């Protein structure tokens, strides 16, 4: 039964993906984040409720995102891997240390990563320290990312999960990179996590503005 559900979800996601239109803003921030590491890799930070559009907007770009080891994570990982997106499994509550080690190893192979910083169970918009630790030990920049559709269904869940409706316009906005120096101690993680949160919250507003620009015919920024 679970296998059938996986294939049904895969078919649905592929159908929706074929109808979406994407536009990318502030690409200079992404290039700046990538340039911090010799392999041109970084780690993207996004809210859990935006991860549907966030993942689909980066297909075939070599990202290996983190997925939880929950049943829901099994579903998402199945869909991702059948759409050409490899995953690393783990979370703050289970398998986190091994997952962080795998992500850092992937940086050396030229693969960026992505984390839903308030996942997998919340609280909403509370940044966990995992991404701070990975950025420090992997010596990569954190790139805040917000992928927002102009029309979406909102799930009644802890994160108010968003599923873009068919033929949605989706803006992908990159924020200013965040650098966690390798010599940083864990006492500083609170401040870095607050910086990630502040920039993601601001990006949500920027993404709405970018949707408005798109509707007026303004091209994506460089």
Q: Is residue 189 part of a domain?
A: yes
Q: Is residue 58 part of a domain?
A: yes
Residue 219 has a pLDDT of 58
What Å distances lie between residue 95 and 92, 100, 193, 216, CA to CA? Answer: 7, 9, 21, 46
The side-by-side arrangement of strands in the sheet containing 113-116 is 21-25, 169-174, 142-149, 43-46, 113-116
Tens of pLDDT, residue by residue over 191-206, are: 999 999 999 999 999 9
Distance between CA atoms of 85 and 123, rounded to whole angstroms?
Answer: 27
Q: Is residue 90 part of a domain?
A: yes
Q: Is residue 61 part of a domain?
A: yes
* Percent over 90 (pLDDT), the chain: 86
pTM of this prediction? 0.94
Q: Is residue 166 part of a domain?
A: yes
How would you class 162 by CB atoms within 10 Å of its CB: exposed for 0-12, middle for 13-18, buried for 19 or more? buried
Q: Is residue 1 part of a domain?
A: no
Tens of pLDDT, residue by residue over 45-77, are: 999 999 999 999 999 999 999 998 888 889 999
- Domains contained in the chain, number: 1
Q: Is residue 187 part of a domain?
A: yes
Residue where the block lists tokens 């992505």: 114
The answer to whether the beta carbons of residues 73 and 120 sit under 8 Å apart is yes
- Across the chain, what does the average pLDDT equal? 93
Q: Is residue 5 part of a domain?
A: no
Give which of 89, 80, 88, 111 is closest to 17, Cα–Cα. Answer: 80
DSSP H helical ranges for 117-188 = 130-138
State the residue range of the domain holding 31: 20-215
């Amino acid at each position: 039964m679970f296998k059938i559900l996986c294939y049904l979800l895969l078919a649905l996601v592929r159908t929706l993906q074929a109808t979406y239109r994407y536009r990318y803003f502030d690409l200079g921030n992404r290039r700046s984040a990538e340039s911090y590491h010799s392999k041109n890799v970084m780690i993207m930070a996004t809210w859990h409720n935006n991860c549907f559009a966030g993942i689909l907007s980066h297909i075939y770009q070599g990202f290996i995102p983190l997925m939880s080891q929950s049943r829901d994570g099994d579903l998402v990982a199945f869909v991702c891997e059948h759409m050409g997106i490899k995953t690393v499994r783990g979370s703050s509550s289970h398998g986190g240390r091994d997952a962080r080690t795998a992500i850092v190893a992937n940086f050396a192979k030229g693969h960026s990563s992505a984390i839903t910083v308030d996942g997998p169970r919340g609280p909403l918009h509370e940044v966990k320290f995992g991404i701070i630790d990975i950025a420090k030990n992997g010596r990569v920049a954190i790139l805040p990312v917000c992928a927002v559709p102009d029309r979406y269904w909102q799930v009644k869940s802890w994160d108010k999960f968003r599923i873009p409706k068919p033929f949605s316009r989706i803006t992908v906005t990159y924020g200013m990179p965040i650098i966690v120096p390798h010599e940083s101690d864990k006492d500083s993680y609170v401040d870095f996590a607050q910086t990630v949160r502040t920039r993601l919250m601001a990006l949500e507003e920027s993404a709405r503005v970018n949707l408005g620009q798109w509707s007026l015919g303004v091209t994506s920024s460089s």
